[in-house]
Amino acid sequence: MSLTILITGATAGFGEAIARRFVRDGHRVIAAGRRADRLETLARELGSALLAFPLDVTDTAATAALPGCLPEQWRTVDVLVNNAGLALGTAPAFEAGLEDWDTMVATNVTGLIRLTHAMLPGMVARDQGHIVNISSSAATYPYPGGNVYGATKAFVTQFSLGLKADLVGTGVRVTDLEPGLAGGSEFSQVRYGGDAEKAAAVYAGTTPLSPEDIAEAAAWVIGLPRHVNINRMEMMPTCQGPGPLVIKRRDG
């Protein structure tokens, strides 16, 4: 069955890979993101199954206008993939910039809940839909310098579970995808303010998850029969795993 799928953050990384995958699978994709030129390039490449839809998820007026501001034949959104998000910096909390914290909260938390708020009523009225939220392993496993980023993702995971609780009795599904170390996207470049060397070092000597791996997971969860809901999916590359709790020992 061909679905209409709105993906935020489709200009790069996971979102772009998910958009490509879903079009390949025969779905119609509304590709959202701030960089309109990239969306247009994607639309030219993928054809009429993809609608380029410039959107900043922190723009409250723009998100509130959804889905009514979409072209009429694109308004019935079956699946919302809340993928847009970012980490800014790895400084400890006592050195981090408030502006970075505000941007992460505005994008990863407020943008995501506003998009969801805009799209849910239609899904419930149609008794069919699927919210796929892109959280992170950082939601569960804290690490130094992950402070607000990890907290925003913990919010996403808990919000997903709360949505699932509210939607019992409707035909609307909710899935929280929680990837660990993933390369092939702009994530680390953005986190390190464009420092390509630092960004590359994150993946040195590893085989991280790829955007296509995340797209595979997204394709699987939305393709399952309607009575099956994957609540959470934590995925890591084989080379990654949780570590022991850190202990600072006194000298001597």
Residues binding ligand NDP (CB under 6 A)? 8-9, 11-15, 33-35, 55-58, 83-86, 107, 111, 134, 136, 179, 181-182, 185-187, 190
Active-site residue (options: 141, 143, 149, 203): 149
Q: Using CB distances below 5 to 8 A depending on partner kind, what does residue 8 bind out of ligand NDP, ligand 8X3, none?
A: ligand NDP
Q: Which are the contacts of 221, defined by CB distance < 8 A and separation ≥ 6?
A: 130, 132, 175, 177, 230, 233
Q: Using CB distances below 5 to 8 A depending on partner kind, what does residue 122 bind out of ligand 8X3, ligand NDP, none?
A: none
Residues 122-141 binding ligand 8X3 (CB under 6 A) are 136-138
Tell me whether residue 149 is one of the annotated catalytic residues.
Answer: yes
How many of the other CB atoms lie within 10 Å of CB of 196?
10
Length of the chain: 252
Q: Using CB distances below 5 to 8 A depending on partner kind, what does residue 185 bind out of ligand 8X3, ligand NDP, none?
A: ligand NDP
- H or E element that contains 178: strand 172-179
**CB of residue 247 vs ligand 8X3: minimum separation in angstroms?**
21
Residues 145-184 binding ligand 8X3 (CB under 6 A) are 146, 180-181
- Least Cα distance to 109 among 138, 77, 82 occurs for 82
What order do you get walking across the sheet with 172-179 strand by strand? 50-54, 28-33, 4-7, 79-82, 129-134, 172-179, 232-235
Q: Which residues make up the interface to ligand 8X3 (CB under 6 A)?
A: 136-138, 146, 180-181
Task: Name the residues annotated as catalytic.
Answer: 149
